[in-house]
């Protein structure tokens, strides 16, 4: 016995929203045309199916307006303008749309085709395969809800539910959406795909996974033809050991170029460095990243983390190194904060392979109670601990005794040594000058002003405790009340404590 498809049975399983969608045209005033029988080997009247019902066998062909429907056998209900078709079902509409399946129920009044089992819809170069498909010829929308596979060019798309507008050639998918491409896979919760433009639009959590990188967002689009994307809402790009985040993230897979806006963050796990800003660009192949607008670098080390702010931060690959190391460039209005050392300058370069910070343009370093200045400063770290400091040309170290008294050491160049991140020694080379206040039981009793080409300063608890003059110095000791006012400051003296960042957020404040 051949099974009979009843319209009520199909409608019972359709979502209410879809019933409304496909039924709207029937609510409008329109002329209902009868389905025409073009061919059948055998045609019989079968009253058991209802008044005027007919059974058709062999090479069955129907026509309804511009659509041609063929099958091996069918039941035709002339009174209700409907039909059921079985085996080798085919619907041809125009020269671009072909719909195949094992079973069909068709309503002539609403022009709704319900195709079941081994369903295939071909529209131009797009092929949809499923076991459950409803196609409304008025709205030109096809719908499935229990899984479907779409192939279009190099893309293969699967989902649990989907709508397809055969006129606009736009798919809307929901639930376990997957696009498989030779270069990447896309996994999404809700997605719209335009087969004409090749653009996928995301409306929920989405992953784009390639061989060399990983993209995530919760809103945005991806052009599958041009391999470019614009991602929003928790968007990020992961490449090897680096992650680029931003409220808006543009990415060109062909060139490896990424651009991020607002709340931008680039994290390098190998160097344990974070770059932040509100605008950033990134080139994968060159390993070049530039951040501006509240740009901040964080060298992560727990309580010893280092913060650097500048108008512009740039990270580039160090081509002179045999290892995967970076050079960080910071320029204009640079400020540095770590709990045990702070600084400022006009521009900075950090050479990772040497662990040296190079400060240019009126650089200042504050180490506990000491202010250090020079024409150029180099600060070397080892195992993320302060190790050496090199002062080039017109070097000056100042520490404050009280509001009017300052210990001062000046020279052509200096080298400082740290122990457990504390400055413990300074070697002065060339044109050494000192102003050093002498104490007795914590009370200042006098001051030494001396000159010596080379000398060594020893510090304890971040204060100058002893000065060794390596050659015979020239100078004078003054009782405190006899120290001339015009002798109290060495050339180049400038006390800049008000510019010192006392917490990491102060790096954004410029003088």
DSSP letter for 108, please.
Answer: T
Residue 59 forms part of a structural domain:
yes
**For 312-327, what is the mean pLDDT?**
86
Q: Are residues 326 and 472 in the same domain?
A: yes
**For 95-106, what is the mean pLDDT?**
94
Residue 344 forms part of a structural domain:
yes
Among 130, 46, 132, residue whose Cα is nearest residue 83: 46
Q: Are residues 402 and 329 in the same domain?
A: yes
Summarize pLDDT for 483-504 with one digit per residue, the tens: 998 999 999 999 999 999 999 9
Which residue range(s) make up the domain with 99? Answer: 1-146
Q: Are residues 439 and 489 in the same domain?
A: yes
Summarize pLDDT for 219-258 with one digit per residue, the tens: 999 998 899 999 999 999 998 788 999 999 999 989 999 9
Q: Are residues 328 and 448 in the same domain?
A: yes
Residue 283 forms part of a structural domain:
no
CATH of the domain at 426: 2.60.450.10
Residue 297 forms part of a structural domain:
no
Residue 317 forms part of a structural domain:
yes
User: What is 45-83 written as a DSSP string?
Assistant: E-GGG-TTEEEEEEEEEEEETTEEEEEEEEEEEGGGTEE
Q: Are residues 135 and 74 in the same domain?
A: yes
User: What is 164-194 written as a DSSP string?
Assistant: EETTTTEEEEEEEEEEE-SSEEEEEEEEEEE
**For 106-115, what is the mean pLDDT?**
95
Among 196, 230, 259, the domain boundary falls at 259
Q: In degrees to the nearest 10, what's the CA dihedral of 265, 268, 269, 274? A: -50
Residue 117 forms part of a structural domain:
yes
Residue 18 forms part of a structural domain:
yes
Give the least confident one: 91-105, 159-173, 202-216, 455-469: 455-469
- pTM, two decimals, is 0.78
**Euclidean distance between CA atoms 424 and 447, whole angstroms:** 22
Among 489, 420, 422, 415, residue whose Cα is nearest residue 449: 489
**For 205-229, what is the mean pLDDT?**
92
Angle, CA 181 vertex, CA 175 and CA 187 arms, to 5°: 25
Residue 217's Cβ-count burial label (10 Å; 0-12, 13-18, 19+) is: buried
Residue 292's beta-bridge partner residues? 279, 312
Q: Are residues 140 and 152 in the same domain?
A: no
pLDDT class for 59, splitting at 50, 70, 90?
A: very high
pLDDT class for 47, splitting at 50, 70, 90?
A: confident
Looking at the 3D structure of the chain, how many domains does it have? 3
Best-predicted range by mean pLDDT (49-53, 267-271, 319-323, 330-334): 330-334
Summarize pLDDT for 379-411 with one digit per residue, the tens: 999 888 899 999 999 999 999 888 889 999 999
Among 99, 126, 146, the domain boundary falls at 146
Q: Are residues 243 and 367 in the same domain?
A: no
Q: Are residues 307 and 424 in the same domain?
A: yes
Q: Are residues 316 and 440 in the same domain?
A: yes
Q: Are residues 10 and 142 in the same domain?
A: yes
Residue 55 forms part of a structural domain:
yes
Q: Are residues 212 and 310 in the same domain?
A: no
- CB count within 10 Å of CB 364 equals 21
């Amino acid at each position: 016995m051949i099974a009979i498809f009843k319209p009520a049975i199909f409608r019972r399983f359709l979502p209410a929203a879809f019933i409304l969608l496909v039924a709207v045209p029937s609510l409008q005033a329109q002329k209902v045309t009868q389905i025409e029988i073009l061919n059948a080997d055998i045609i019989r009247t079968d009253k058991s199916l209802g008044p005027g019902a007919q059974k058709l066998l062999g090479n069955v062909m129907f026509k309804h307006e511009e659509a041609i429907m063929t099958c091996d056998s069918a039941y035709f209900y002339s009174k209700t303008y409907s039909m059921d078709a079985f085996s080798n079902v085919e619907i041809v509409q125009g020269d671009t749309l072909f719909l195949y399946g094992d079973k069909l129920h068709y309503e002539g009044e609403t022009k709704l085709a319900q195709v079941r089992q081994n369903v295939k819809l071909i529209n131009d170069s797009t092929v949809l395969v499923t076991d459950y498909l409803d196609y409304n010829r008025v709205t030109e929308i096809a719908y499935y809800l229990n899984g479907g596979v779409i192939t279009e060019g190099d893309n293969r798309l699967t989902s649990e539910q989907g709508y397809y507008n055969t006129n606009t050639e736009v798919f809307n998918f929901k639930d376990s959406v997957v696009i498989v491409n030779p270069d990447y896979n896309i996994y999404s919760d809700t997605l719209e795909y335009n087969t004409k433009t090749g653009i996928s639009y995301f409306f929920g959590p989405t992953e784009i996974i390639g061989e060399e990188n990983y993209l995530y967002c919760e809103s945005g689009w991806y052009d599958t033809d041009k391999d470019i994307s614009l991602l929003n809402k928790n968007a990020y790009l992961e490449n090897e050991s680096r992650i680029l985040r931003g409220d808006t993230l543009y990415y060109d897979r062909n060139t490896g170029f990424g651009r991020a806006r607002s709340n931008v963050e680039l994290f390098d796990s190998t160097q344990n460095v974070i770059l932040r800003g509100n605008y950033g660009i990134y080139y994968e192949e060159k390993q070049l990243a530039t951040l501006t607008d509240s740009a901040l670098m964080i060298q992560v080390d727990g309580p010893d983390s280092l913060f650097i702010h500048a108008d512009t931060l740039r990270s580039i690959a160090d081509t002179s190194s045999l290892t995967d190391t970076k050079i960080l460039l910071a320029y204009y209005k640079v400020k540095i904060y770590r709990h045990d050392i702070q600084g400022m300058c006009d521009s900075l370069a950090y050479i990772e392979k040497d662990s040296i910070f190079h400060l240019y343009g009126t650089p200042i370093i504050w180490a506990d109670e000491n202010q250090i200045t020079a024409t150029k400063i180099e600060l070397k770290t080892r195992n993320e601990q302060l190790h050496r400091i090199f002062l080039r040309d017109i070097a000056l170290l100042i520490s404050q005794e009280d509001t009017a008294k300052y210990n001062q050491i000046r020279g052509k160049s200096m080298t400082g040594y740290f122990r457990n991140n504390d400055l413990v020694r300074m070697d002065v080379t060339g044109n050494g000058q000192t102003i050093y206040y002498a104490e007795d039981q914590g009370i200042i009793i006098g001051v030494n002003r001396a000159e010596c080409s080379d000398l060594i300063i020893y510090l304890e608890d971040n204060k100058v405790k002893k000065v060794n003059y390596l050659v015979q110095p020239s100078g004078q000791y003054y009782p405190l009340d006899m120290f001339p006012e015009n002798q109290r400051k060495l050339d180049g003296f400038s006390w800049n404590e008000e510019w010192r960042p006392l917490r990491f957020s102060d790096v954004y404040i410029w003088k």
